[in-house]
Chains A and B, each alone.
Chain A
Amino acid sequence: MADDYREEEIIVPLRCPNCGGLNPPENKVCQLCGFRLTGATPVSPPGVDVVRSGDPSASPPAPSPVTNIAPAAPSIAPASAPPTPNSPAGRGSSLAARLGGAGSAAPPPAEWLGDLRRNIGGDAPAVNDQPLPPPPPPTIAAYPSPAARSAGGGFSVSQPDDQVGYVAPPTPSTSPYRREDLPRPNSEPVDWLASLRASSSLSPEAEQDAPDEEEESPPVAVPDWLHRMRAESAASAAVTAGEDDVNDAPPWLTDEVAEDTGPLDRADSVGKPVPDLHPWLHEGTVTRGSDGATQTDVPPSAAQAINLPPWLQQPPEPAPPAPPDFSDLFTNRPAANVAAAGQAPPSTTTLGSSGGFLEDSDAPAWLREVAAAQPPPMPQAMTAMASPAAAEAAAATEAGSPEITESDALDQDDVSAAPPAWLSPPASDGEDAVETALPDESEAVSPADEAPDQEQAEVSEATPTTPAASEVVSTTPPIATASGEDLPPWLRVVGGESAASMGDSAMPTPVVAAAATPTTASFFPTGNAEDNTVPDWLRGIGRESQDGSPASAEALTAAVAEPVQHIQRVMTVRSPRPGAAEALAALVAAPSASTRTSPLELKDERKVSASVMRWLLSERGIYLLTALVMVVVVLADRVGGLQPLAVTSPAANAQVDSFYKTINNLETQSGAPVLVAYDWDANRQAEMAPLARAITCHLGAINARFATVSLSPTGPAFAQQVALATVDSKTPCTTRRYQYGSDYVNLGYSAGGDFALRSMVGSIATVFSNDYVNGNPLFGAGGVPALKGIKSLGDFKLIIVLEGDESTARSWVEQVASQPNTPPLLLGEPAALDPSLQPYLAVAAPTRFVGKVAGLSDVARYQYDLTAKGLNMAKTDLSFNLNALSFAALLIALLIIIGNIVFIARLVNRRK
């Protein structure tokens, strides 16, 4: 039971993914930076300190609003699993290390928690009897879950239990934070509440209904005083009228339990919708009104009046039905029963002062000592606010009745100086009071009309407030800041107002509590007890603790405050940024991204335009532009309206003239054999076909017989096509039509390259035996007449090489022209090969090409010569191609000039 109760108090703060700050699990946005916490990483539950509202440090205000948290190194509960950097335990450890300093050496809380369990099991009174171990530093107050707070867990700094005489030194084997013991989200929830119900039934019937659970529970030696507490609780619960439900917990509690399947459900439900109001505002702010009903300590108006941050001014939820009042549980019921009530007891309620188990002789001595302590005087305002029952409680408090906070009784481990009487619940009020006084979250935040606003504000400020403040660790000692000098302005204003309204009241300074979670150190203003900011009741508690508690309050405070001064790192708490909410609302209300041009779209547009420009200025774009120009020129040339560069008088060319003259010289030798080599492919057709046609016509004009040979597989076809298009057509370019076989012959393709050429130099018959067109024998008795008297290349009078490849042309020179007794060679080539084959022209050496025609311009000149000779070369369409080529050349020249201008301009600008 104690384990479950402990586990329920484990909280899982959320780590902001933006700033890394810790936030309460209920927060939707980061309280530090305003970043949305959906999907934020919860911080290790075991690594974060466990806090109970029952801690005496939770109820009274801290003297200092800044040094309100964790005055020393936090005590981190170790997890059973080895802590890793990513594991919650690891993060918790890292958090402890960051906040640690001296506290990092503190014994693990799991040990003292384990001992706590054992003490509760049957050895609790012995705690006080044991000598106190060295006081470990207090732990950082972790934000408790609502369930934990409703069960008595508060938002405070957990004081080392042994220091205040609550627990024995820890033992590591009984860590309540073992992961396997915790309920898992997807597994069957641990019926921890059932155990609570079984052990703390409100009525004898309830006890009878749950015998098995108690039987199943591990045999724990329960002290007699605890049994009596349970019996008293059961007796008081039996008085409850109309309570048909025999369950231990009231319906509201069972509902809450149904929602929270385990103590760590709060951690597991990170990211779930949470109430708008922070749950920590729900509990702890509940006080008992004059009628015994729970009242909300924080009216919104008061919160707004004191200029609280926006996150503190959230609207409350509508008040649900009034929960039952557990005042009798707090007063007369044993602690175990109260604990079994689950999350019911608020932190500000106290055990009844009218006797009860505290007066029992079996009660632990330390508890009786605490009960005997003088409670602080109840403020007048609270007294007026309180109900008669509350007034009685206040009277009892003033009478010196020892009061112990409810959760103290529940925990049996956190007994400290009694809170002020004004926080004490009334005496046993019966079931109605229980129902009405039960703390409800929504009710806790609803406006409490019973008390004046000022008083409510003060009371609310006396409760644990902001989770952010709970994580504040200040390097300033708590006592030094007790005056509130380090407070933010708005807190000073609040403090001033509160002080003014309270006058000489002993009500604790609300400023102190407003922004801070009360810590044990601040709860015991020892060293500076005479400070005006410390209320009298707090000084009294300090004195009482010093006198009656096992641990001296002053020594405790000093021990607590000392580590605080060693803390170098401060987790500063910032108020929400001004206008953050408005900015967020503006962003939400802003038009969607689709309706406006995003930078990405602009970038895409720039990319598109850049890609278009790149495409246009690329080689492909230049080709396209040139093609368009050519189309226009050819169309205009075809229509007849544009012939600006008609082949009328091409420039004279010595090589072309030599070429022409060499062929024309054969005119005197009628029927002179000429070998024409077609060594070009289709990719050279534009330039080579007009040249081939002109040469064929020229050969026909001089009445020469010729044979075609090819070292390219496609050559024979072109050769035959050209012949059929010129001399062997119905309308030949010559005076007569040539006949295949007798006037010309197509030898075809010869494989081997240099070998074939060298072989043909020796004997053509070794390479070609049949013609290409008909397959007839070339030589011999039935040979073709066109090759009459031809056995080798030396027998030809002229060799005209139409080359489309540089290597083949070089082969002709190397293998044929260089050989003796070979005829002169003429070269017809495309313009692309002209620079490469220029060295093979017979400028100085006669064994090379004696003439050449390169490109369309040379072809035009050659055709000009043929036209001058009287040949009809109009069908070659050379003029169309040449005009288009001329305009294309002009365009390219223009682009080159523009490109150079741009380049020079950029170069000049760059140098400037």
Chain B
Amino acid sequence: MDLSVIGTIIAVILTLMVYSYLIGDNPLYRLAQNIFVGVSIGYITLVVIYNVIVPFIGRALQDRPWLERVLPVLALLLGALLWYKAVRPRNVFANAVLAIIVTTGAALGLGGTLVGTLLPQLQATMLPFSSDIGSIISNIVIIVGVIVSLGYFYFTAKPDGTRTVTAGYVATAGRWFMMVAFGTLFGFAVTSFFALLADRIRFLISPGS
């Protein structure tokens, strides 16, 4: 028997076991869940070993300039120092490596967020009102939505514990905007899950396709 056929049969069985959760939590569902987790971890481990670690070691052993050979070794050494966190969480070497990772990631993320997210978002709210009426209305809605949504998180109040009526209205409008946004997110998420369900149903009906 072809391995693909065996694999398809196993996939059908596991799919049915997973969808048995529609009836209720049961051992079959949990078994399939555990199998999925185990297979995923095993696969990822192999991928990391053969696609990350081994090439790094091979790169150090290749006939390359000494800097290109030392850097992979240094990277492996720093990575090995992270194991101290498992034994001694306050180990200075592990903290040093972790500090390198955090600071580098923070710097990289700050630059990328500022340039790639914050400024483009600010630029996206500065929409023109010069195009067609539909775009104008759309841009107005976007701008108002951004303002009132930010106004919802404006928690400053007067000394007597109250805030202005305008702030209340803004907060209420912002809450409604966020509710619409969250509903949209949920709707799209459900659509994605339904697409996956449809794909699985199709797979169960015609596994070979």
Q: Is A836 an interface position by the 8 A CB rule?
A: yes
**Is B192 in contact with A831, judged by CB distance below 8 angstroms?**
yes
Q: From residue 12 to 65 of chain B, which have CB atoms closer than 8 A to chain A?
A: 19, 21-22, 24, 40, 43-44, 47-48, 50-52, 55, 58-59
Q: Is B89 an interface position by the 8 A CB rule?
A: no
Q: Is B136 an interface position by the 8 A CB rule?
A: no
**Is B112 in contact with A811, judged by CB distance below 8 angstroms?**
yes
Comparing B118-126, B155-163, B164-172, the segment that makes contact with chain A is B118-126
Task: Tell me, rounded to whole Å, the shortest Cβ–Cβ distance linking A572 to chain B.
Answer: 60
Q: Is B85 an interface position by the 8 A CB rule?
A: no
Cα distance, A733 to B206, chains bound together (Å):
21
Q: From residue 742 to 769 of chain A, which have CB atoms closer than 8 A to chain B?
A: 748-751, 754-755, 758, 768-769
Cα distance, A384 to B156, chains bound together (Å):
110
Q: From residue 191 to 205 of chain B, which have CB atoms closer than 8 A to chain A?
A: 191-202, 205
Cα distance, A631 to B202, chains bound together (Å):
8
Comparing A111-119, A618-626, A901-909, the segment that makes contact with chain B is A618-626
Q: From residue 604 to 645 of chain A, which have CB atoms closer than 8 A to chain B?
A: 620, 623-624, 626-627, 630-631, 634-635, 638
Q: Is A646 an interface position by the 8 A CB rule?
A: no
Contact of B115 among A713, A814, A836, A892 (CB under 8 A): A814
Q: Is B78 an interface position by the 8 A CB rule?
A: no
- Tell me which residues across on chain B come within 8 A of A624, comparing CB atoms: 22
Q: Is B140 an interface position by the 8 A CB rule?
A: no
Q: Is A684 an interface position by the 8 A CB rule?
A: yes
Cα distance, A877 to B198, chains bound together (Å):
11
Q: Is A834 an interface position by the 8 A CB rule?
A: yes
Q: Is A770 an interface position by the 8 A CB rule?
A: yes
Task: Tell me, rounded to whole Å, the shortest Cβ–Cβ distance linking A614 to chain B.
Answer: 13
**Is B195 in contact with A839, judged by CB distance below 8 angstroms?**
no
Contact of B116 among A638, A685, A768, A818 (CB under 8 A): A818
**Is B198 in contact with A888, judged by CB distance below 8 angstroms?**
yes
Q: From residue 80 to 131 of chain B, which have CB atoms closer than 8 A to chain A?
A: 104-105, 108-109, 112-113, 115-117, 120-121, 123-124, 127
**Is A810 in contact with B116, judged by CB distance below 8 angstroms?**
yes
Q: Is B9 an interface position by the 8 A CB rule?
A: no
Cα distance, A750 to B48, chains bound together (Å):
9
- Tell me which residues across on chain A come within 8 A of B52, comparing CB atoms: 749-751
**Nearest opposing residue in chain B for A632, CB measure:** B201
Task: Tell me, rounded to whole Å, the shortest Cβ–Cβ distance linking A864 to chain B.
Answer: 17
Q: Is B185 an interface position by the 8 A CB rule?
A: yes
- Tell me which residues across on chain A come within 8 A of B116, comparing CB atoms: 810, 813-815, 817-818, 847-848
Q: Is A884 an interface position by the 8 A CB rule?
A: yes
Contact of A840 among B22, B112, B120, B181 (CB under 8 A): B120
Q: Is A361 an interface position by the 8 A CB rule?
A: no
- Tell me which residues across on chain A come within 8 A of B77, comparing CB atoms: none
- Tell me which residues across on chain B come within 8 A of A634, comparing CB atoms: 198, 201-202, 205
- Tell me which residues across on chain A come within 8 A of B117, comparing CB atoms: 810, 813-814, 840
Contact of B108 among A754, A810, A855 (CB under 8 A): A754
Q: Is A889 an interface position by the 8 A CB rule?
A: yes
**Nearest opposing residue in chain A for B183, CB measure:** A835
Q: Is A542 an interface position by the 8 A CB rule?
A: no
- The 8 A CB mask of A762-782 against B (1 = contact, 0 = none) is 000000111010010000000
**Is A885 in contact with B201, judged by CB distance below 8 angstroms?**
no
Cα distance, A755 to B103, chains bound together (Å):
12
**Is B44 in contact with A885, judged by CB distance below 8 angstroms?**
no
Cα distance, A755 to B127, chains bound together (Å):
33
- Tell me which residues across on chain A come within 8 A of B123, comparing CB atoms: 844-845
- The 8 A CB mask of A666-694 against B (1 = contact, 0 = none) is 00000000000000000111110100000
- Tell me which residues across on chain B come within 8 A of A856, comparing CB atoms: 195
Cα distance, A743 to B74, chains bound together (Å):
35
- Tell me which residues across on chain A come within 8 A of B202, comparing CB atoms: 634, 877, 880-881, 884
**Is B120 in contact with A847, judged by CB distance below 8 angstroms?**
yes
Q: Is A652 an interface position by the 8 A CB rule?
A: no
Cα distance, A876 to B184, chains bound together (Å):
28
- Tell me which residues across on chain A come within 8 A of B190, comparing CB atoms: 892
Q: Is B188 an interface position by the 8 A CB rule?
A: yes
**Is B108 in contact with A684, judged by CB distance below 8 angstroms?**
no
Cα distance, A801 to B201, chains bound together (Å):
27
Task: Tell me, rounded to whole Å, the shortest Cβ–Cβ distance linking A241 to chain B.
Answer: 90
Task: Tell me, rounded to whole Å, the shortest Cβ–Cβ distance linking B141 to chain A.
Answer: 13
**Is B19 in contact with A839, judged by CB distance below 8 angstroms?**
no
Cα distance, A687 to B59, chains bound together (Å):
37
Known: A749-B52, A845-B120, A845-B123. A630 touches B197 (CB 8 A): yes
**Is A885 in contact with B47, judged by CB distance below 8 angstroms?**
no
Q: Is A662 an interface position by the 8 A CB rule?
A: no
**Is A880 in contact with B22, judged by CB distance below 8 angstroms?**
no
Q: Is B70 an interface position by the 8 A CB rule?
A: no
**Is A814 in contact with B104, judged by CB distance below 8 angstroms?**
no
Contact of A630 among B22, B50, B198 (CB under 8 A): B198
**Nearest opposing residue in chain B for A859, CB measure:** B195
Q: Is A144 an interface position by the 8 A CB rule?
A: no
Task: Tell me, rounded to whole Å, the shortest Cβ–Cβ distance linking B135 to chain A.
Answer: 10
Cα distance, A717 to B127, chains bound together (Å):
42
**Is B188 in contact with A751, judged by CB distance below 8 angstroms?**
no
Known: A683-B196, A832-B192. A627 touches B124 (CB 8 A): no
Q: Is A714 an interface position by the 8 A CB rule?
A: yes
Known: A635-B205, A834-B188, A892-B190. A844 touches B124 (CB 8 A): yes
Known: A627-B22, A888-B198. A855 touches B43 (CB 8 A): no
Cα distance, A686 to B191, chains bound together (Å):
11
**Is B195 in contact with A855, judged by CB distance below 8 angstroms?**
yes
- The 8 A CB mask of A282-298 against B (1 = contact, 0 = none) is 00000000000000000
Q: Is A81 an interface position by the 8 A CB rule?
A: no
**Is B59 in contact with A769, judged by CB distance below 8 angstroms?**
yes
**Nearest opposing residue in chain A for B109, CB measure:** A754
Contacts A630-B194, A813-B117 aside, 11 further interface pairs with beta carbons under 8 A come to: A687-B195, A713-B44, A755-B108, A815-B116, A832-B193, A834-B188, A839-B121, A845-B120, A847-B116, A884-B201, A888-B194
Q: List 9 A-B pairs, minimum CB-CB distance, nearest first.
A: A814-B116, A814-B112, A686-B199, A884-B198, A686-B196, A832-B192, A818-B116, A713-B44, A818-B115
Q: Would you mind naming 26 contact pairs between A and B with Cβ atoms under 8 Å apart?
A: A620-B24, A624-B22, A626-B197, A627-B22, A627-B197, A627-B201, A630-B198, A634-B198, A685-B196, A685-B199, A686-B198, A686-B199, A713-B43, A713-B44, A754-B112, A755-B105, A758-B112, A770-B55, A772-B51, A818-B112, A831-B191, A831-B192, A832-B188, A835-B188, A877-B209, A884-B201
Instruction: Give the interface of B toward A (CB within 8 A).
Output: 19, 21-22, 24, 40, 43-44, 47-48, 50-52, 55, 58-59, 104-105, 108-109, 112-113, 115-117, 120-121, 123-124, 127, 181, 184-185, 188-202, 205-206, 209
